[in-house]
Amino acid sequence: MSKKRRVFDIDFEADTPELETKSIGSERRGPMASAIAENADAMEQRLSAEAAIRAENDRLAHEFVALKKQGLITALVPLSEIKTSKLIRDRAPADERDALDLVMSIQEIGLSNPIQVEEADDGYELIQGFRRLQAFRFLQDSCGEDYAKIPAVIVPRGEHLTKLYRRMIDENIVRKDITFGEMAALAWAYLATAPLGVQDIEAAVNELYPVSNRQRRTYIKQFARLLRRLNGDLKNVRVLSRATGLALYKRLEDNPEGTRALRAALTAQPDRTEAEELEIITQFLKSKSETASPKSAKTTFRIGTGVAEAKCTAADGRFEIRMAQDFSALDRTALERATKAFFEAIKAEGSGE
């Protein structure tokens, strides 16, 4: 009797295929592992992109700040946010024809030269471009909101007041359309708000117009003294040409009676136009100097100073020294000391000491 084969006898070596074993780092991964790996790659790329964007933003921010400090940033600024109170304007309002020409030019080709403004707590302060701003405000009133904003260079806040005045002045000097009378009027306005160290009109002129040559500054100072002598009665300072202004200055310098006569003629026509004011001045210069004070005796002599020869003129109530020397450049204390010594010497001479 043969032996029966058991049902559960299994030949593992013959019937069972060899199992393949793979390490954890095998190339074959489950769906979750693949998703985690892909998410990590995406996160790394995103972080890298964000770092690059932050670096670019930092670079652009530094570039913006540098350009702003140089006054090279231009923006459209609402007219309603621009004030003109910080600086006394160096220009009189444009006459009707000039204003119309500017308005038409802006309408046809736009504003080719932006104004300059300084940032303020509640808007902007105008530095340059008073007439351009006026033209835009006129266009806003007549043509609507298309002209509600004006191209402006934004000057960084905190610049020295003198530098802001210089920005305003230099533009008009370059354009050669600012008169000596306007420059003199601005010097008086600047003196009223000037920083320490600017204590008279000569210093104010030297501070505001350092690029002008000495002769030009002398003319401005003479116009300034003329305006002071007329005490505000000259309403339209820009009507005076250099020749007319200097002739008027010389005529009134030692002529108080003539000054009173001219002021009376000007105030007699309170609503006068520029042309009428110029005609009053012209007729005054043409008139005989009947009201001039009698010329007093004077003594003139020259003194060698070791630096340059000084021409001295002594008259009733006046002693004048003229020489090739810019006295405004000297130290004020030294000038006061020298002047005091001069008067002490005169006093001693008069008392016979």
User: Does 261 share its domain with 311?
Assistant: no
User: Does 271 share its domain with 302?
Assistant: no
Average pLDDT, the chain: 78
Residue 78: which of 130, 139, 152, 135 has the closest Cα?
152
Domain edge (last residue) among 153, 171, 189: 171
Give the pLDDT of residue 353. Answer: 52
User: Does 290 share its domain with 252?
Assistant: yes
Q: How much is the average pLDDT of 212-219?
A: 87
Q: How much is the average pLDDT of 320-347?
A: 85
Q: Tokens for 303, please give them.
A: 């003194």
Q: How much is the average pLDDT of 313-317?
A: 81
Give the span between the Cα atoms of 154 and 71, in whole angstroms.
6
Contact 220, 186 (CB under 8 A): no
| Any domain includes 6 | no
Q: Tokens for 114, please give them.
A: 């932006």
Torsion of CA 70, 162, 334, 326, to 10 degrees: 80
Give the span between the Cα atoms of 259 and 158, in whole angstroms.
43
CATH at residue 139: 3.90.1530.10
Encoded amino acid at 99, one letter: A
3-state secondary structure of 162: helix
User: Does 215 share its domain with 327?
Assistant: no
The number of folded domains in the chain is 3
Q: Tokens for 44, please give them.
A: 């790394």
Give the pLDDT of residue 148. Answer: 93
CATH at residue 225: 1.10.10
Give the span between the Cα atoms of 91 and 154, in whole angstroms.
21
Give the pLDDT of residue 238. Answer: 81
Give the span between the Cα atoms of 118 and 127, in whole angstroms.
7
- Domain span including residue 261: 179-295
Helices assigned H by DSSP within the chain: 12-15, 31-69, 96-109, 130-143, 161-175, 180-193, 201-208, 214-230, 242-253, 256-267, 274-286, 332-351
Q: How much is the average pLDDT of 139-153?
A: 91
Give the pLDDT of residue 137. Answer: 92
| Any domain includes 5 | no
Report residue 290's pLDDT band, with 50, 70 and 90 as the boundaries.
Answer: very low
What is the tens place of the pLDDT at every residue in 74-95? 789 999 999 887 776 545 555 5
- Between residues 120 and 22, which one has the greater pLDDT? 120
- Between residues 172 and 312, which one has the greater pLDDT? 312
What is the tens place of the pLDDT at every residue in 20-69? 545 454 456 667 777 777 777 778 788 888 888 888 787 777 766 666 66
